[in-house]
Amino acid sequence: MQVHANVLNGHAETSPTTFDSRNPATGAVLGQVYSSTREQVAAAVAAARAAQPAWAARPDSERQALLMKVAEVIKSNSEYLAHWVTREQGKPLGGVGPGQVPGARFEAWGCEVWTQVPASLELPVEVVFEDETRRDEVHLKPHGVVAAIAPWNWPLLIAIWQVIPALRMGNTVVLKPSEYTSIGTLEMVKLIAEVLPPGVINTVSGAGEVGGWLVEQPGVDKITFTGSTATGKRIAAVAAQRLISTTLELGGNDAAIVLPDADPAAIAMGLFWGAFLNMGQTCAAAKRLYVPDELHDAVVAQLKSLAEAMPMGDGLEPGTAIGPIQNRMQFDKVSRLVETAKATAGATIVCGGTPATGPGNFYPLTLVTGLKDGDALVDEEQFGPVLPIIRYRTVDEAVASANRLDVGLGASVWSPDIVRAREVASRLEAGTVWINQHGMVHPMVPFGGIKASGWGAEFGHAGLKGMARTQVISVGKG
């Protein structure tokens, strides 16, 4: 069985111990990954630090050109990478165009696009003030070494979101993939490292303690992390001790609000994929759906019809639209929340609610009604294929419910009246509020959370600036 190595200063790095990576659809072991030691984490940071001055000294145009080559390598290996995503993460292979299931091929294509866009953007020196006495310019400088910790739900794409802007701005990177989905990410980095100078991108792998060793390294100048709020708080505390910069994209419990004038049939597909894309294992998925009394039954009926029609299974099998939950820990959390909902007075399991038997972490798409604010499935982020649908009487009541939790990653409003929808959207406490869509990120549009959903922006010019520090050069004209 193949053991997958890390990349350290341009070469393959092995370790004394390994861990298994499993297929969530079958439970089979896919391969093994070397678990980095504390000394290897320090060596990876040292390699990145040694390579950083020369990388930053390159003309920006050279870094852009090299990153465009990275995009080409990803594109030419997209099918290979997509198969690793499906085998290791579980999302179906799907496709990339209109009408295609947005699965692993979409993720590989996204890696290409989210490399091309940061590589193509221009960031000229900004003159913020000038008169007859002075000229003040804002220059962007790299932080130095960026520690990036990627999650298991979009293991390649989110790694790219973290790595490429950092590299573009002249930083070097040490990336730690999730221990649940390490192989695909390591395979992608091996391809990237063939294009870049040694030490510019390095990896470490292993359980959470490896991530802890990484963020504690004195040679790290910035940390970017996507994951749970609890882990994000620990990382922020470590960073605060050294006063280094962080970008944290943390948990969300996104609310979607259907306004009374919405057409249930017209919005059903958008709501469905807004909630169940990647089996609901998306930070900015719709996880609480607020529907007015008069539309409640019609919206539920539309979503039930879609949920029961979606074929679930191994994502490598043709025609599969829905895959498994990625790991048993998350499977057990989803199961617990549904069992708690079943025991809640007034709750109804509209469809699903019973785990599939046999191998794999398959849990059916589940709709739950009759819940209210304060119930566990409403207040806790389920991060899985379960959607609570909550009745409301007034829009003010729905807005108050959406804002009551200490999270604020995304939200959405659904209505044919865009003026009215904009007014409601402006009242929601979230980093992004979509209208008549949910979770539709774009490489040019800033994305990030507020409250306990984190801070800092990714994507576009804002994401690039987040990977740099500012230096003002003030020139006197005396």
What residues are labeled active site?
A: 249, 283
Torsion angles phi and psi, residue 7, rounded to 5: -105, 120
Enter the DSSP assignment of 279: G
Pairwise CA distance, residues 180 & 88, whole Å: 8
Residue of 455, 59, 35 whose CA lies nearest to 233: 455
Residues 110, 118: contact at Cβ < 8 Å? Answer: no
Whole-number Cα distances in Å, 37 to 122, 181, 421? 39, 19, 52
Residues 137, 126: contact at Cβ < 8 Å? Answer: yes
Determine the number of helices (DSSP H) and then strands (DSSP E) in the chain: 15, 23
Pairwise CA distance, residues 456 & 295, whole Å: 37
Q: Which pairing describes strands 145-149 and 172-176: parallel, antiparallel, or unpaired? A: parallel
β-partners of residue 270 are none
Query: How many other CB atoms are found less than 10 A from the CB of residue 130?
Result: 12
**Backbone torsion region of residue 94, taken as left when φ is above 0, otherwise alpha when ψ lies between -120 and 50, otherwise beta:** left
Torsion angles phi and psi, residue 118, rounded to 5: -60, -35
Residue type, 178: S
Residues 145, 221: contact at Cβ < 8 Å? Answer: yes
β-partners of residue 129 are 136
What secondary structure does DSSP assign to 31-85, as a single string?
EEEEEPPHHHHHHHHHHHHHHHHHHHHS-HHHHHHHHHHHHHHHHHTHHHHHHHH
Half-sphere exposure of 72 (CA within 13 A, CB side): 9
Residue 195 makes CB contacts below 8 A (sequence gap 6+) with: 66, 69, 70, 73
